[in-house]
A = this chain, B = another copy of it.
Amino acid sequence: MTQARTVNADQMKAAIAEAGLRPTRPRAALIDQMAAWATAGTDFTCEELWHSAQASAPWIGRSTTFRTVELLADLGFLDRVTFADGSERYHVVQPGSHHHHLTCEMCHRVVEIDICLPAEVLETVQRSSGFALTGHRLELFGRCSDCQRHTVPVIDSVDAE
């Protein structure tokens, strides 16, 4: 797997400035929290971000949290990651990098992986279906090494959920 270098708060703030948007206090506070989580490899929901940010900035509104997350997602800093149980959470990533996610179904750890569908497979699909492919989404589920150690080993199957 590839450990992408962690996105920091300044990168996100700079991107906001470059987009001609304003560097406001709420945005800064939320970005700082997200960047901290990014370093720790922690994913989050908007609700969690809001609650967490309120510890240091109780004046931040819920709407602003949703708006800021949407903004950062549009700027490419946040990916929506799907977990094995179907839940979806946000994860900070390097914008523009093409990768997919491998998530631990026990501890929710997220690992970015840079493997992808081979181009010839995509071309085969394109030819046989008549579709013009514009994108795809791949999520891998499993148990991380720590969680394997603490529980019964899973059957060595690689089928879809």
- A residues neighboring B (CB under 8 Å): 1, 80, 82, 84, 86, 98, 100, 102, 104-105, 111, 113, 115, 117-119, 121-122, 124-126, 128-145, 148, 153-154, 156-161
Contacts and interface: CB of A to CB of B under 8 A. Distances in A.
Nearest to A126: B142
A128 B140 CA distance: 14
- How many copies of this chain are found per oligomer? 2
Contacts of A137: 82, 137-139, 141, 160-161
Given A98-B159, A124-B115, A125-B113, A105 B134 contact: yes
A100 B105 CA distance: 20
B141 A134 contact: yes
